[in-house]
Amino acid sequence: MKGQFSPQNPQKYNGNPCNIIYRSSWELKMFMFLDTDPRILKWSSEEIFIPYRSPKDNKIHRYFPDIIYTTVDKKTIMVEIKPFKQTNPPNAPKDTKGKRRYITEVMTYGVNQAKWAAAQEYCADRGWEFKIITENELGIKY
C-alpha cells in the first residue's frame, strides 16, 4: 500500500505538506497519529538522510528515516517502521530449500543494523531519541 497523505494540520509538517508519501498502511497509521495528536508539535517523513556504510558492498549509502517528530515537551524522536521479524536476526533454515531466502534475510538484517547504528549515532549527537516501531507498537495483527 502506497499513497499520498494529506494532513489535516499541514502547519505541523516540517517540509512540503503536499508531498507526504506513505509506503505502507503502518506508515499511514503513524502519519494520522502524528498529524492529529496535540502532543506532537512538528513532524516529517523522509525529509533528511543519514550516510551509512552498507555491509553488502562496503560503500556509503543514504538512509532516509521514516519519521522525525518533536513533542510538546521538546523531545525529538526519529522513527523507523519495520516488521518485528526484520528487527531480529533471521533463523537458519532446517533444510536447503530455504537457503536462498535465508541469505537474503541475513543481508537485509545486516543493512538494517548498519542504518540503525548510523541513526542512533546521528540522534545521540543531537540529543534525540531513535525508535524502531513494529506492528506490535502500532497494535496491528501481522
User: Any idea which residues carry the catalytic annotation?
Assistant: 27, 66, 82
Q: How far is CA 88 from CA 25, 40, 69, 112, in A?
A: 22, 29, 25, 10
Measured distance CA(54)–CA(113) in Å, rounded: 9
129-133/76-81 β-pairing: parallel
